[in-house]
Amino acid sequence: MLDKANLKAWLHKKELSRRDKILLILASFEDPCSISDIKESALGAGLRLSDKWNISLILSRSNGCAIRVPEGWEITDSGKSRLRELGVSNLPAAAVQVASDLRTYLAKIANDEVRNYVEEAIMCHEAGLYKASIIMSWLAAISVLHIHVVRHHLAAFNAEATRVDTRWKAAKNSDDLGKMKEYDFLERLHGISGIGKNRKDELQKALKLRNACGHPNSFKVSANGAAAHIEMLLLNVFDVFQI
């Protein structure tokens, strides 16, 4: 949902068409709304919609950006995509900052696999797909740690892994490391002082959240919750282990 402050700011952009402004108003409602609701919301944001606008006609010709249901008008996924094209976001300020920080990190990534994970995490986050953004950012972070171990600690890691479990087959690359459970990987990395205890604990909490998001269930995540997860990974993985 678009909050009132953002709605007011966007409605007074002169370059926007009437259709886009009405879509903005629809995006401020959680439920279908009537024409009178649309006019009242616009007036509350400082924009008076005269009868010349013919709101019903504009919406009916919106190319599927809005539909009329028995309860009134509502914005569709196509309408939301149109607003995203304009740069409209319903993310809280903190969540917007995290996405910006992640884009800054993206420019520094040389590894294609990690770059793809981070790009998808950003797109999911900005699209409001918070569970997906948590999963993709975690995949990016664990990939960074795998690469770091292969480049700098592979012999020590294999020795520690074998000490704990004699069945461990020495890893030669990141794919081999991916065969170990991620919780155990973090334990072994801590065992060779690759990460400190506090960082390990926070990453294992993040892993638990990622697992909760990766299975069908009723668990819900907010924009700020996803932002906090990504920010923790930025501070404890992406900004620390350069690849």
The amino acid that residue 217 corresponds to is: N
Q: What is the mean pLDDT of residues 7-18?
A: 90
Q: Position of tokens 């995949």?
A: 139
Instruction: Considering only residues 106 and 136, tell me which one the structure prediction assigns the higher pLDDT.
Output: 136
For residue 5, the model assigns a pLDDT of 77
Q: At residue 243, does pLDDT exceed 90?
A: no
DSSP H or E stretch at residue 162: helix 154-164
Q: How confident is the model at residue 223 (pLDDT cuts 50, 70, 90)?
A: confident
Q: At residue 151, does pLDDT exceed 90?
A: yes
Residues 6+ apart with CB under 8 A from 21: 10, 11, 42, 47
What's the fold here for domain 93-238?
Four Helix Bundle (Hemerythrin (Met), subunit A) (1.20.120)
Indicate the CATH number of 4-86 among 3.40.50.10610, 1.10.10.10, 3.90.79.10, 3.30.70.1230.
1.10.10.10
- Distance in angstroms between the alpha carbons of the first and the last residue of the chain: 38
Q: Position of tokens 């770091």?
A: 148
**Structure-block tokens of residue 223:** 């924009």
Distances (CA, A) of 156 to 79, 98, 218: 53, 34, 41
CA-closest candidate to residue 105, choices 92, 119, 89: 119
Q: How confident is the model at residue 83 (pLDDT cuts 50, 70, 90)?
A: confident
CA-closest candidate to residue 73, choices 35, 44, 47, 40: 35
CA-closest candidate to residue 225, choices 238, 237, 210, 243: 210
Q: What are the sequence ranges of the domains in the chain? A: 4-86, 93-238
pLDDT tens per residue across span 109-124: 989 999 999 999 988 9
Enumerate the β-bridge partners of residue 234.
none
Enumerate the β-bridge partners of residue 33.
73
Q: For the stretch 18-49, what's the b/e string if a residue is b when 16 or more beta carbons lie within 10 angstroms of its beta carbon?
A: ebbbbbbbbbbbeebbebebbbebbeebebeb
Fold matches, 4-86 and 93-238: no
